[in-house]
Amino acid sequence: MVLATPSPVTHRTAEENLGLGYLAAYLRQEGHRVDLVDGWLQGIDVEALARRIVEARPSLVGFACYRSNMMRAIEAMQLVQRAGVRPLTVAGGYGPTFHANEFLEAGFDAVVRGEGELPMCLLAEHVRTGTPALASIPGLSFRDEDGSLCHNFEPAPKLPFSQLPHPHRDTLDLTIARRSLVHLQTARGCQATCTFCSIIAFERVGGGSNWRQRSIRDVADEIEQLWEAGARYFKVIDDSLVEPPRDAAWCAELADEFEARGLSPRLRGSIRADRAEEDVVRELARAGFFSFSCGIENFSQSALRRMAKRATVEQNYAALDRFRAHGIYVQAGHILFDDRTTLAELEDNYAAMRRYAWTISKGIFTEMYAAAGTNFTRTLTRRGGLQIDQDALGNTRYDVLDPRVRCVYGALKRWQKEHAAVYDKAIDPLSAPKALDDAELALMHGLSIDLRETDLDLFRLLLDAAAGPTATEHLEEETHELIEAELVRTAPRYRAFDTRVKEAYRKVGLVYDADDNPFLC
């Protein structure tokens, strides 16, 4: 069989697909022959991906899909079929889990909803022997012989890590050569219940616990194997690294284990602000973490309550202060707008963004996505607030209710669209991130701070306009004129900044080969 993923339409540069590595390892362990083709990391287009599949003459092809590579996966599947090869085709991942009918109607034979190790193994047995029947494979949706769409009720099981082999690393050399971080997983899931997040929705598909972990020894074993293969920089792709029962003692044990083995990995991870206590951050820094993504999301308590965030504003501040004290770079995840954002909340966020302008940001403008399966989307549906049309990634649309906030929303979005390309390029080495030394990180970080200051100046102008005397019916025109004037005034600055970013890329030896940002539409 072939396990494949096309490159997504994304503003990010290529990274390893660890899910394919886990699937390949599990299936090979069960005696199946597996070829792995990562179109994103290998830098091949849809036509080349299809040719690779055709050359393998597989009886089963599994596509790892999200909304951002759905159309390319469909195109690759159709090209394979036109070449006269007729394998059973299956799609899995977040996109197929929440949009199974769309993938089946596009021509896939089957969809795996939830985690894929066991369903894919059973599907491979079905292709090889005719058993088990498709209708008995948990977590599977498929097109029956009469063309009807069938969805098996039993969920795909979430196997304990003790039953999963270490992921196979067919693309390790490519990952290191691109200076991308080698992906590593120490746990799956998250125990939080944020209203906007697809992670918890995905975990609920399989039932059982929403979070499960590996032992420290097993994690260290894998890092040691990768270390011997030349890997030094790692991205821990856990949705939330320090979930209970993990605590400061666990973090200290992790650091001790690395030290005992003579390992000094450079690590990037994701953590919730309410879990970033002083002892936790200190020990994670000792373990080798130089960078974190932290879901701050908002600096207004009322907005945090709407999102069902467990962290308070004060905990957000404390987490960021601790990261900085320990020399850890932070990409502060942010959601500035939802349907009920107020001007007071925007003021809260402006003040805190000024205070923490050193955090890594992809721009002032961010909005909550109404993604399938989330509590936010269900709430909007009950209120009648969803619009039928969708953006390019399948997220349904909604209106910002406050008319004056809506003017700020529209103006900031216009500003972000104009500058997204230089923003995405400037922060990619920090947000992806890349295997950079301290001096290279400092160079790229300095650029991101300079860029953000201009954004904050513009944000202040818009907030002043929204709080001013202009009647609401004329505010949109005023903010539009303000944005257009600022775009003209700052154009030389942004051209000069783009030149600085290109020079920084040349200096550190990186290549930016991503697409335009698909989220801004």
3-state secondary structure of 3: strand
462, 479 Cβ separation under 8 angstroms: yes
Give a yes or no: residue 84 inside a domain: yes
3-state secondary structure of 79: helix
pLDDT digits over 436-448, tens only? 999 999 999 999 9
Which residues, other chains included, contact 488 with Cβ-Cβ below 8 Å and sequence gap of 6+? none
Give a yes or no: residue 401 inside a domain: no
Give a yes or no: residue 19 inside a domain: yes
Give a yes or no: residue 113 inside a domain: yes
H or E segment and range at residue 397:
strand 396-397
- Cα separation, 501 vs 428, in Å, equals 11
Token reading at 61: 């092809």
Strands 187-189, 211-213: pairing is antiparallel
Task: For residues 455-480, give the mean pLDDT.
Answer: 97
- Cα separation, 52 vs 62, in Å, equals 13
- Cα separation, 31 vs 38, in Å, equals 22
CA nearest to 102, candidates 504, 308, 393, 401: 393
CATH code for the domain of 10: 3.40.50.280
CA nearest to 172, candidates 182, 160, 161: 182
CA nearest to 16, candidates 158, 177, 199, 215: 177
DSSP secondary structure string, 180-221?
BPEEE-SEEE-S---TT-HHHHHHHHH-S-SEEE--HHHHHH
pLDDT digits over 333-349, tens only? 899 999 999 999 999 99
pLDDT score at 520: 54
3-state secondary structure of 290: strand
Q: Please give the radius of gyration of the chain, using alpha carbons only, rounded to the nearest integer.
A: 23
Strands 60-64, 35-38: pairing is unpaired
pLDDT digits over 158-190, tens only? 999 999 999 999 999 999 999 999 999 999 999
Domain holding 138, by residue range, is 2-151
CA nearest to 162, candidates 210, 213, 202: 213
Give a yes or no: residue 74 inside a domain: yes
pTM: 0.93
pLDDT score at 12: 82
CA torsion 196-200-206-211 (nearest 10°) is: 170
Give a yes or no: residue 291 inside a domain: no
CA nearest to 365, candidates 331, 409, 422: 409
326, 364 Cβ separation under 8 angstroms: no
At 519, the pLDDT band (50, 70, 90 cuts) reads low
Give a yes or no: residue 53 inside a domain: yes
At 299, the pLDDT band (50, 70, 90 cuts) reads very high
Task: For residues 91-120, give the mean pLDDT.
Answer: 94
Report the chain's mean pLDDT, rounded to a whole number.
93
- Domain count for the chain, please give it: 1
pLDDT score at 400: 94
pLDDT score at 68: 82
pLDDT score at 392: 45
Give a yes or no: residue 308 inside a domain: no
280, 304 Cβ separation under 8 angstroms: no
pLDDT score at 393: 47
Local structure of residue 69 (DSSP, 8 states): G
Between 217-221, 415-419, 478-482, the lowest mean confidence (pLDDT) is in: 415-419
pLDDT score at 312: 97
pLDDT score at 72: 93
Which of 4-35 are b and which e, b meaning 16 or more Cβ less than 10 Å from the residue's Cβ?
A: bbbbbbbbbbbbbbbbbbbbbbbbeeeebebb
148 versus 390: which is more confidently predicted? 148
Q: Compute CA distances 271 → 121, 277, 289, whole Å.
A: 32, 11, 11
- Cα separation, 348 vs 336, in Å, equals 10
Length of the chain: 521
At 373, the pLDDT band (50, 70, 90 cuts) reads confident
3-state secondary structure of 246: coil
Model confidence at 513: pLDDT above 90: no
